[in-house]
Structure 1
């Protein structure tokens, strides 16, 4: 008796421990930190802080935010996601894809860079975080699976083109009137092309060339930061002010200020579609990147815990002047390759970045806008996944159609709706596949001593004239009923045996279809048989009138038993003159016939 109490207590403590670690996952990895791991995390964090400096400023410009907000978004969200997520290497912060969605969602409502614009962006971030938290609370992690890889690749490719297009005016050094759409942007660029500032173009070119060369010759060095420093020095040598080269300007040397966004009921309705898109896209990015790195680090990723981490990073970040964040592929890759061992590296990176902002913020006043535009061209090029585009093209028409439609929609419509369109198209193809389950005619293997069935290969194989055996591979739900019903009605044999071990799910429409088919055949003097029902399918048919209507004597535990029983019910006259004799049960008939003839 005491032993039982002890086990119960241990179980209770284990359950409490599990609940606490799910709520506060950092309690697990903090206990594992050693001096050696802390040293590795320190170096990885410092490297990451340097990497994100030009990246954060560039992403803020994409989002229509002042440059310092890109750095704010790389500080607080990174710490929160590291504390409450599940990945030991994922680093959260601003991303190119989310930045462009933020811009296209809010720019029609307020002037980019204005106080009203900033407030709406922070409200949008809070809404996206609450949406992610709702998904995490109800454990709806599977929703991310409906955003297929083709949608993500199509969207990021389109976003890359949109980002690059939006920076052409900064590269040319011209002012462009545009509504912000892809077509309008290029119309404005073409109209203003005659006023091109070739000094600005040269600064952008120096940035791009330097970035590529450093990446190629010194792959472990921070190529973006070096390119930004070199191009800033080049712009200073040219005399930026005299040559009409715009500069980023000095950013405030302060930590992210606490500021709860002012929420207007009217703006919630207008921001809702963008918030949902940012929430979904952010989760897809974060979970995909975390799983990608985990395959190399051999760490187990808990998807729903990652949902909580991303949700809290956006909710907390929104009140610390941080706009929408997610897992950063570049920073996560650098973090892993730099030797990070625990999420402490992400926290060190954020703290180091905060120190840089406090001590060296005035240096951004020397950074030219064309240099940032050049860096964004590099970012855009890296966003285009040519390898997976080729793989999707080879995979099939439906997958490539999803990619192509999402890509085109990204160029001609609001980005959040492009994501929705891609998801809807993916679901259409998915429903089409599931509504047409595979129906395979199977025949017994003549060389097998026991009942063993193989799919029929051609029409020349001998068949039983009285019985067709089929295997259904797929769920019998309302979407697949008509397809299966049409097949069964076109079966010419008087008896049909459905081997149902491939049917994982059945609903009321599927059960009624089987019941009606059994009754239809019974009225014609024919029979429908079932075998190998899975437990859940068998239980569902037993709940209502379905099993009784089909007939208890028509339902068998296995196909071997089914063949034996059905054979005894076949028309003997037809069996005696049959030359196929494909079943083991037919063999005694062959011997008996030979004996009579002799």
Structure 2
């Protein structure tokens, strides 16, 4: 992978990247520790990821502005996968998370090597929005025990957690609750003020400082409030995650879902920022960059990461020019870990809980949820099902539910291509072919014309066959059916067999099934595969006008034509002469 951006570095760009990197480190420092807590990991592992995963993904990925590292949705999935096996925070739990991270990275590398970038297109944006909204509730619920200083089982699901908290509400620590609320409210207000002023304030960091000051004034530690504690100094020694057949079997399904979700988030964020920066994104290279970053990170006690929309947006808005900004940010975090690891010693856990709850609230994309609810019934079903499965069943399972429903609805739509009855515009010289219903047009009683928009494949064969049989019943005399195929992209063997069968049925009744205006590339493909010869080349016409001229009036029952007053084709025979009514007394 070439680092093409290095050839464009200038002193001005380096200065801009340095400022953006330092700003990003200040903004992201509390975030990455919060995401580590969401994942059930020690806070320092979030910092490890913000150093190693961020730097490698920036160097190897295709986006110049995206910041990769700990992410909220990824963290809650990690917790849901591993917490049923071991207690979060335990040595065994951490070992499983590192193995999960390694598997996730290897799967992502496989996607990139086999150029399977199109796989992410099968997970719609609606699935991600529904999953993220559900994850926000799970994240908020997981922090209530820290906010209220209560004892809750670490592997309890959403409803068990809420039930245990409700039972212990009378044991709430008022000092812890005050610290958490001060952190939450101050961070939210600073975020609003920053937006109003048009500047990026480190609202989470400032909120944590406010919460810590309140904790100091209320003598939090003496009042039973837990502290985050000091961070380890420096980076961990590289170590290969443990493997066993049982571990691989139990983590494989979750790793696949985690890999997909991570790639979707990363590519979506990279493309969103590229719309503003006018940079071209290489999806497969992004897959490799994410995969190598996670694989390498697993060796240094990092948990799986992905693109962060908040930190990536802040990086671009801060004036970042190249991936050097991400490298500067990672270096800044490393310097903090090496020089002032005691920075978190007196940070109250309720303050972290308050900041995490604000993060959870921001994950709920109400704007897009309202748009989906008002725009599409099927997308609303996908959104609701994904959201519900995230809360009620399992975040990993919810991703598969969303994917399954999205594909099922897509297949349902494609299995029912648009079949529109058409006819010439009457009382016009050119008589262009138009939609019968829209233009209120008369139709020929013998020649039925339809336009098919969509691909003809095995899934839609029954739908089109039923439509053709209804048209045959509608025809007076020998049925004549003309399919206008300018909107058909391809015809597979199953659809061709159905068309041959229907053509033979129609011809057995003295009629004819014809095709016109098919795309040249489709005809070439049908000729190459032999489908054109099997279906009968004589049934195909280059234009609709040619098809009409070939059967009007030669193929029609003229006695029916004599009684028809529509005369919708220029080729229709003239009306028969009628006797003049004699005048009285003549």
TM-score by length of 1: 0.92
The aligned residue for residue 187 of structure 1 is 163
The aligned residue for residue 584 of structure 1 is 570
The aligned residue for residue 519 of structure 1 is 504
Which consecutive unaligned segments of at least 5 residues does structure 1 have?
1-22
- Asked if 1:441 corresponds to 2:441, the answer is no
TM-score by length of 2: 0.94
Give how far 1:256 is off: 4.4
- Alpha-carbon distance between aligned partners in 1 of 2:217 and 2:11, rounded to the nearest angstrom: 46
The aligned residue for residue 495 of structure 1 is 480
Deviations for 1:380-403, whole angstroms, at most 9, x for unmatched residues? 000000000000000121111110
Q: Is the 8 A contact 2:105 2:291 kept in 1?
A: yes
- Asked if 1:476 corresponds to 2:456, the answer is yes
The aligned residue for residue 269 of structure 2 is 289
- Asked if 1:363 corresponds to 2:343, the answer is yes
- Residue 377 of structure 2, aligned match among 381, 385, 397: 397
The aligned residue for residue 542 of structure 1 is 527
The aligned residue for residue 401 of structure 2 is 421
- Alpha-carbon distance between aligned partners in 1 of 2:532 and 2:268, rounded to the nearest angstrom: 44
The aligned residue for residue 259 of structure 2 is 279
Local SS of the residue matching 1:584 = coil
Which consecutive unaligned segments of at least 5 residues does structure 2 have?
582-586
- Alpha-carbon distance between aligned partners in 2 of 1:372 and 1:378, rounded to the nearest angstrom: 10
Deviations for 1:292-320, whole angstroms, at most 9, x for unmatched residues? 11111222222222112111111111112
The aligned residue for residue 90 of structure 1 is 66
The aligned residue for residue 139 of structure 2 is 163
Local SS of the residue matching 2:451 = strand
- Alpha-carbon distance between aligned partners in 2 of 1:45 and 1:393, rounded to the nearest angstrom: 38
The aligned residue for residue 389 of structure 2 is 409
Deviations for 1:418-459, whole angstroms, at most 9, x for unmatched residues? 110111011111111111111011111235543521111269
- Once structures 1 and 2 are overlaid, which stretch shifts more, 560-569 or 41-50? 560-569
The aligned residue for residue 491 of structure 2 is 506
Give the 5 Å matches for 1:121-520.
121-177=97-153, 179-218=155-194, 219-446=199-426, 448-450=428-430, 452-457=432-437, 461-491=441-471, 492-493=474-475, 494-520=479-505
- Alpha-carbon distance between aligned partners in 2 of 1:85 and 1:499, rounded to the nearest angstrom: 47
Q: Is the 8 A contact 2:235 2:300 kept in 1?
A: no
Give how far 1:168 is off: 0.7
Local SS of the residue matching 1:482 = helix
- Alpha-carbon distance between aligned partners in 2 of 1:548 and 1:475, rounded to the nearest angstrom: 20
Q: Is the 8 A contact 1:122 1:321 kept in 2?
A: yes
The aligned residue for residue 114 of structure 1 is 90
The aligned residue for residue 536 of structure 2 is 551
Give how far 1:594 is off: 6.4
- Alpha-carbon distance between aligned partners in 1 of 2:170 and 2:112, rounded to the nearest angstrom: 52
The aligned residue for residue 13 of structure 1 is none
The aligned residue for residue 25 of structure 2 is 49
Structure 1 runs of 4+ with >4 Å offset: 543-546, 592-598
- Once structures 1 and 2 are overlaid, which stretch shifts more, 369-378 or 486-495? 486-495
- Alpha-carbon distance between aligned partners in 1 of 2:354 and 2:494, rounded to the nearest angstrom: 58
- Once structures 1 and 2 are overlaid, which stretch shifts more, 526-535 or 264-273? 526-535
Local SS of the residue matching 2:513 = strand
- Alpha-carbon distance between aligned partners in 1 of 2:520 and 2:164, rounded to the nearest angstrom: 65
- Asked if 1:575 corresponds to 2:555, the answer is no
CA shift in 2, pair 1:81/1:544, >3 Å: closer
Give how far 1:324 is off: 0.4
- Alpha-carbon distance between aligned partners in 1 of 2:210 and 2:534, rounded to the nearest angstrom: 82
- Alpha-carbon distance between aligned partners in 2 of 1:583 and 1:37, rounded to the nearest angstrom: 69
Give how far 1:571 is off: 2.5
**What is the aligned length?**
571
- Alpha-carbon distance between aligned partners in 2 of 1:536 and 1:187, rounded to the nearest angstrom: 63
- Alpha-carbon distance between aligned partners in 1 of 2:529 and 2:235, rounded to the nearest angstrom: 65
CA shift in 2, pair 1:71/1:597, >3 Å: farther
The aligned residue for residue 73 of structure 1 is 49
